[in-house]
């Protein structure tokens, strides 16, 4: 679910203080985008899912990034009905929980 090696690399690259700031920004940006996702028009889905995927990859949320990639591909192919917006949110929530539990331990 979480790529802990990526998280370790990121923390080493930018330092602990900047890492905390990146995490805060990531969580806020993803939350904002996920709030808008259920009511997004079909034309908005691909860029929203692309943003979510990129953010998730940067912070090691691998499973969430993969789900967003699948949704992005469906949106690009004009198959929005294949995008399970609830499942995307649920996977993010599970990933966030696992991440925060481990990162604060």
- pLDDT over 80 (residue 105): no
Please give the pLDDT value at position 74.
Answer: 97
pTM for the model stands at: 0.91
Cα 6 to Cα 17, 46, 72: the distances in Å are 17, 25, 22
DSSP secondary structure of 38-51? GG--HHHHHHHHHH
Number of domains in the chain: 1
- pLDDT over 90 (residue 17): no
Range of the domain at 61: 4-103
């Amino acid at each position: 679910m979480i790529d802990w090696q990526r998280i370790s690399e990121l923390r080493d690259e930018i330092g602990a203080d900047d890492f905390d700031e990146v995490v805060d920004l990531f969580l806020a940006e993803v939350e904002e985008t996920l709030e808008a996702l259920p009511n997004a028009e079909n034309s908005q889905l691909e860029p929203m899912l692309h943003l979510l995927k990129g953010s998730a990859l940067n912070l090691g949320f691998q499973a969430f990034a993969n789900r967003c990639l699948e949704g992005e591909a469906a949106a690009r192919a004009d198959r929005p009905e294949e995008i399970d917006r609830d499942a995307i949110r649920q996977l993010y929530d599970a990933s966030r929980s696992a991440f925060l539990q481990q990162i604060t331990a």
